[in-house]
Homo-oligomer: A and B are copies of this chain.
Amino acid sequence: MIIVKIGGGKEINLEGIVKDLAELREKFLIVHGANAVRDEIAEKLGNPTKVVTSVSGYSSVLSDERAIDAIMMGYSGIQNKRLVELCQRHGINAVGLSGIDGQLVQGERNKGIRVRQGEKTILLRDYSGKPKGVNKELLELLMDHGYAPVICIPILDENRFAINTENDDIVTVLQQALHAEKIIQLIEAPGFLEDKDDEKTLIPRLSKDELQRREEQVHGRMKRKILALRKLLEDEKTIVMMSDGRSEHPIKDALAGKGTTIQ
């Protein structure tokens, strides 16, 4: 089977992706983003996405209750359902699910972010956390009966509240449960770039060792991204293809090795 992760940027060619998937013979599931849509909704509703910086210097989105509302509207609402509709129009019997549906993605809420407020350091506890497991039975039940799961945030925390999390981490727990042979990550870039600001610096192939070496050289979000990639490669047979979601045939291009192949 194939796990397809679709970025949430505005330039991603969703119709091209769905048309390609409709021709696939293998089973697949989709994990999609929607950050562009979410930010737009949150902004218009007067509750723009808030970013806070911790005392240790990390920036992260603050997921308060209204941010979870915006996730439910942007991710589980419009992006998930328009993608399911597109799948249905092209003959894919998609079922859209958030991580809270049927306890599909179970996580643990973060303890809080330490931030400076004037002279004091306070602990901001929001609705965000890390996925720890998936309801494999529900996914297999659907896939065995011909449905293609289309998955997005929020996920469920240990007290069964809806929380925000990173799609990279959702893909990791899905892979640990399902052991997909191929993982396709569609982004708004040609693949893994040597210089993130220069699309001509595509790295066509990356080994696990090479990833580890790079992980040691970078910081912050990029370090977390590479760590997530390395976790996916714990299955010896797995190939990760990071490829351009903006092209005419994003899936075909990825499978033809036009992006970065990591194994």
The residues of B that contact A161 with a CB separation of less than 8 Å are 85, 89
- Tell me whether A147 and B102 are in contact (CB under 8 A): yes
The residues of B that contact A137 with a CB separation of less than 8 Å are 145
Instruction: Mark each residue of chain A from 133 to 151: 1 if its CB lies under 8 Å from any CB of chain B, else 0.
Output: 0000110011001010000
A4 at the interface (CB under 8 A from B): no
- Tell me whether B77 and A78 are in contact (CB under 8 A): yes
| Interface-facing stretch out of A90-98, A114-122, A250-258 | A90-98
- Tell me whether B80 and A76 are in contact (CB under 8 A): yes
A159 at the interface (CB under 8 A from B): yes
A51 at the interface (CB under 8 A from B): no
Contacts known (A44-B44, A45-B45); A81 close to B98, Cβ less than 8 A: yes
The residues of B that contact A102 with a CB separation of less than 8 Å are 93-95, 142, 147
- A window 96-117: CB within 8 A of B: 96-98, 100-103
Q: How large is the interface on A (under 10, 10 to 19, 20 to 34, 35 or more residues)?
A: 35 or more
Contacts known (A72-B81, A76-B80); A160 close to B95, Cβ less than 8 A: no
Contacts known (A44-B45, A45-B44, A95-B101); A81 close to B76, Cβ less than 8 A: yes
A69 at the interface (CB under 8 A from B): yes
Q: Describe A's contact surface by its main secondary structure.
A: helix
- How many copies of this chain? 2
The residues of B that contact A147 with a CB separation of less than 8 Å are 102, 138
A183 at the interface (CB under 8 A from B): no
Task: Determine how close the nearest CB of chain B comes to the CB of A41; give it in whole angstroms.
Answer: 7
A156 at the interface (CB under 8 A from B): yes
A162 at the interface (CB under 8 A from B): yes
- Tell me whether A78 and B69 are in contact (CB under 8 A): yes
A224 at the interface (CB under 8 A from B): no
- Tell me whether B154 and A73 are in contact (CB under 8 A): no
The residues of B that contact A50 with a CB separation of less than 8 Å are none
A-B contacts, 9 listed (Cβ < 8 Å) = A44-B44, A72-B81, A76-B77, A77-B77, A81-B98, A81-B162, A85-B160, A96-B98, A141-B145
